[in-house]
Amino acid sequence: MLAKVAIVGRPNVGKSTLFNRIIGQRLSITDDQPGVTRDRIYAKSSWLSKEFNVIDTGGIELSDAPFLTEIKAQAEIAMNEADIIVMVTDCRNGVTDDDEYIAKILYKTKKPVILAVNKVDDQKFRDRAFEFYSLGFGDPIPVSSTHGVGVGDLLDRIIEAIPEGVDTKYSDDTIKFCLIGRPNVGKSSLTNTLLNDERVIVSNIPGTTRDAIDTKFTAYGKDYVVIDTAGLRKKGKIYENTEKYSVIRTVDAIERSDVVIMVFDAETGFIEQDKHIFQYADEYHKPCLIVINKWDTVNKDSKTMDEWIKKIRENFKYLDYAPIVFLSALENKRVHTLFPEINKAYEAYNRRVQTSVLNDVFADAIAMNPPAEFNHGKAKFYYISQVGIQPPSFAIFVNDPDFIHFSYKRYLENQLRKNFDFYGTPIKLITRKRD
Ligand code: GDP
Ligand code: GDP
C-alpha cells in the first residue's frame, strides 16, 4: 500500500493548486470563486521513482458546516488517514489565527508535518516565509504552486518522510478482492450471498487493517479476503458520510486488492456516477470483473444483455479486458460463478510468459502487420521482454519509441492478449530505446 500524503490548510492558501502541481495534471478545479467543487481530491503521484498517494483535504466539502468545523475536519482527515501531512500557508498574509488553529490540532499527531509556505512567487516574499517558523513545524519550505518553484524541495522532504515497509498480513496465495460501486447497487448483498455459499467457510476472527474491514474465508479450497469498502466508521467524525471522503475508502480498498469487482445496478441502469467511481480501478492497474447485479428485476428479451455489454464497453473503453457477469445477489443466481472468474483474473495478473514464445508471438505480430511511418520515422523493433507481474508488464525494445503510434501499441497489446491468457487483467507495455 502506498503512503498517503494529505494537504491541509485554511481556504485559499493554494492547496488545490499545489495538489495539481504535485500530481502533475490539472485534474481538480482551482478557481478564485469560493465554493467551487473540485472533481478530484485523491490521486497517485511519484517523485524520484517513489510512488505515493496525495489527498487534497480542501476538496472534502461538508455542507453548511461552520468555517472552523470545516478546517478542523480537514485536519482530522489528515491525522486519521495520512502518513505524512503537508500544511500549506500563504506568505502574503503572514501567520493568521486560522493557521494557528490548524497547527494546534496537528500538534497532537505523531505523524510528520511538513510546512509549505505558498505563493512565494517572488524573491522578495522569501524572507516572509521564515515568519512561519513560529508554527513549530521546523523549517518552512517556500513554494510557488502556480509557478512550480520550490515544489521539488517539498517533494524531496515528502519522500524522505515516507515510512519504510508496508504490512503484508496475508499469505501470498490469498486472493484479496473488493466490491466497488455507488451506494445501493448491491455490494453488501452480493458480499453476503458470496459468504453464504455452502462451500464457503468464514474465518472466526476478521482481521482489521487500518480502517477497512477484512473478511477472511475459504471457498472451494482456496483462501480469499474480501475487503469492505465502506470500512469501519470512526464514530463522531463528521467527514465520514461525505461522498468525496468515501472515494478515499474506495481507493484504499482497490489498492489493497488483487481483484476489483465493479458492481452495476441493472434496475436503475448505467448512470454517470458509475463512471466516476470506476476510473480509480484503472489507475491502480488491478484486474477487474464487471458485475451487472439485480438481473432479476429486468424484463429481458434476447437483446437486453447485448445492450448492457455495448453500453459498458462504450463507457469503459480502457476496461475492454474485464469480463462481464450478469447475476442476482438477492436470488443467488449465478453468484457462485464469480469464484472461477476471480481465480482466472488473479492467475492472469500473475502470469509469466516464456521469453522465446513471447518473442515468437511478437515477431509474428509485426510481420503480419508492419508499422507504418509515424513522426517522420519507422519503428524498428528488436525484441520484447517481460519485466514484471501484477500486472504483467513488458518492455519493447525499439530504435525510437517516438515512431510508434499509440494505435500500433494497442495492436501489439491485443496480439499479446490474444495469444496469452490475460483474462481480466490489465497489462503494461513499456517502450525502450535501444542504442
Ligand atoms: P485552496 O482553497 O487552499 O485549495 O486554494 P486554491 O488552490 O484554490 O488557490 C486559491 C487562490 O490562490 C487561487 O486563485 C490560486 O490561483 C491562487 N494561488 C495558488 N497558488 C498560488 C501561488 O503559488 N502564487 C500565487 N500568486 N497564487 C496562487
Ligand atoms: P450497497 O449499498 O451497494 O451495499 O447495496 P445493498 O447491498 O445494501 O443493496 C441495496 C438494495 O438493493 C437492497 O434493498 C437490496 O435488497 C437490493 N438488492 C441487492 N441485490 C439485489 C438483487 O440482485 N436483486 C434485487 N431485486 N435487489 C437487490
pLDDT in tens, the chain (435 residues): 788 999 999 999 999 999 989 988 544 444 444 444 456 788 888 898 888 999 998 877 666 778 888 888 888 888 888 999 999 999 998 999 999 999 999 999 989 999 999 999 988 888 888 899 999 999 999 999 999 999 999 999 999 998 876 555 677 789 999 999 888 899 989 999 999 888 888 875 444 444 447 888 999 889 999 987 765 445 555 666 666 677 777 888 898 899 999 999 999 998 887 887 777 777 888 999 999 999 999 998 889 999 999 999 998 888 889 999 999 999 999 999 999 999 999 999 999 999 999 999 999 999 999 999 898 899 999 999 999 999 999 999 999 999 999 999 999 999 999 999 999 999 999 999 986
Q: Is 371 in the pocket of ligand 1 (CB under 6 A)?
A: no
Cβ atoms of residues 187 and 263 within 8 Å = yes
The reply to whether ligand 1 has any atom less than 6 angstroms from the CB of 144 is yes
291 lines ligand 2 (CB under 6 A): no
Among the bound ligands, the one closest to the CA of 185 = 2
pLDDT at 169: 61
Cβ of 240 less than 6 Å from ligand 1: no
* CB neighbourhood size of 294 (10 A): 24
Atom of ligand 1 minimally distant from the CA of 34: 2
CA separation, residue 14 to residues 19, 28, 177 (Å): 8, 12, 37
Q: CA 380, CA 390: separation in Å to the nearest integer?
A: 28
| Cell numbers given for 133 | 517558523
C-beta 390 within 6 A of ligand 1: no
For residue 25, the model assigns a pLDDT of: 58
Strands 113-118 and 212-219: unpaired
Nearest CA to ligand 1 atom 17: 14
Ligand 1, atom nearest to 88 Cα: 3
Q: Which ligand sits closest to the CA of 250?
A: 2
| Ligand 2 midpoint to CA 295 (Å) | 11
Residue 39: the pLDDT is 62
Ligand 2 binding pocket mutation candidate from 178, 179, 182, 184 (most atoms within 8 A of CB) = 184
Ligand number nearest to the C-alpha of 189: 2
Q: Provide the grid cell at 356.
A: 522465446
Q: Is 392 in the pocket of ligand 1 (CB under 6 A)?
A: no
CA of 61 to the centre of ligand 2 (A): 28
- Asked whether 176 lines ligand 1 (CB < 6 A), one says no
Burial 351-361 (b: 16+ CB within 10 A, else e): bebeeeebeeb
- Please tell me if the CB atom of residue 297 comes closer than 6 angstroms to any atom of ligand 2: yes
* Residue 197 CA, distance from chain mean position: 30
Alpha-carbon span 381 to 364, nearest angstrom = 12
- Please check whether residue 22 is in contact with residue 51, taking contact to mean a CB–CB distance below 8 angstroms: no
Give the residue from 207, 214, 187, 232 showing the smallest Cα distance to 338: 187
Helix axes 243-256, 272-283, angle to 10 degrees: 40
CA distance 37 to 172: 41
CB of 30 closer than 6 angstroms to any ligand 1 atom: yes
Check pocket membership of 332 for ligand 2, CB cut-off 6 A: no
